[in-house]
Structure 1
């Protein structure tokens, strides 16, 4: 908010900002879950705010959060999860590349022109690659009104959120695995 105020006062363009900021905080798990009161500390230790401030901001959906679980002794990243409704650009591009076209059977609308839909609706469904798929606006709307269902090869129907109709992707080859770990290691 301070960056936005500074932008408004120096440029007099008060409609919106192009400023992007990344703020990293550390919150203990029992504070995050509400088991005890505590603070959100800046990762460099230079400041702290009541954890409730951060939790209120996270729950109102105005920011996009990355949650990292860190090993308390080695500081290795144990898990990483996006926390927010909209997929960040990197995840959106990966889903568009993975899906290619709308995931409704027979639909050929390119994924770049599709909505990124949560199979299990947000906020109960996570914003991650296993819960998001590309659906064209038509199929997304039909799914939202709960009228879109898949007819499976054996004649049964499954709700549109189900992945039961999709073939299981093949296991990655040794080369693909090596390439993926090399790319992950390269990300700054």
Structure 2
């Protein structure tokens, strides 16, 4: 399988922030931003793998600045690291005041996607080759993030096992 550069997977989406997208403070709903992030990251992962992908995890979405009604939101995503069937995608969201031109990074996130075959089974992906200094930095630190993901997933499974499917307060005596 031929290796691919980070830039091969680059996906960009710009949207206008309209009133239905905002909360009572006139800023973009966090969930709406998260949906944009997942959408663009999935495109980047699919572009890299040239296969269907599923979201395996979102490490975090750090909201750094508000996105106001009437501004734009631009989401950029690209694959930073790969394993056998999985891909880490870095996402940066930039908000722009369309009147003044002021731009601010409003969120960053790392998501993991798994490529799947026609039967929905994990499928191999090409390695990624970083070229720029930023890409190299993200790539070099990816193994640490992957290890943290494994630990977090283990903890999530433990919580799922402990709490089960019932609402905790309904399971008296536990």
Q: Shorter-chain-normalised TM-score: which range?
A: under 0.3
Q: Report which of the two structures shows the higher radius of gyration computed on alpha carbons.
A: 1
With a CA cutoff of 8 Å and minimum separation of 6, indicate the structure with the bigger relative contact order.
2
Q: Larger strand proportion, structure 1 or 2? A: 2
**TM-score normalised over the length of structure 1:** 0.24
